[in-house]
Amino acid sequence: MKDLFVSYEQAAQLKELGMDLGWDNYLRFYDSSTKEFCDVMKDVPSPLKQQVYVWFMEKQGLNSWIMSISDPKETDTKYSYEIKNCDDKLLFDNLEEAESACIDKLIKILKEK
């Protein structure tokens, strides 16, 4: 479930850029030593990655998407991101890396505006 949220660093940067992070955000995890579920709240609430993509699209006009790329000759699937009017063509070994890199790039583009 942790992979659904942006990192703490990304959340802090998004807050600086004006994204409203006013919702309460709890991470829930299973503690195998106590065999109980625990809730943890961070100082800066982390939005879901999907919420970040929607915010960039609706509020900033930056459309982005993640793609899986398969080669019939290869057994591994690679991932890439695309951002409208951006020429980056990078490949990543897993989905989480591609998502994180895409959000980092969106933040960088907005900071440069």
The tens digit of pLDDT for each residue in 35-78 reads 665 555 545 567 889 999 999 999 999 999 999 998 778 788 99
Question: Own/partner pairs for 83-90, CB < 8 Å, 24+ apart?
Answer: 83/109
Domains identified in the chain, total number: 1
Q: Which pair of tokens denotes residue 38?
A: 């625990």
Residue 9 lies in domain: 2-112
- The whole-chain average pLDDT of the chain stands at 83
| Residue reference for tokens 């299973």 | 30
d(CA 30, CA 32): 6
Cα–Cα distance, 67 to 82 (Å, whole number): 8
Secondary structure (3-state) at 29? strand
Band the pLDDT of 104: cuts 50, 70, 90: very high
Query: What does the H/E/C string look like for 60-107?
Result: HCCCEEEEEECCCCCCCCEEEEEECCCCCCCCECCHHHHHHHHHHHHH
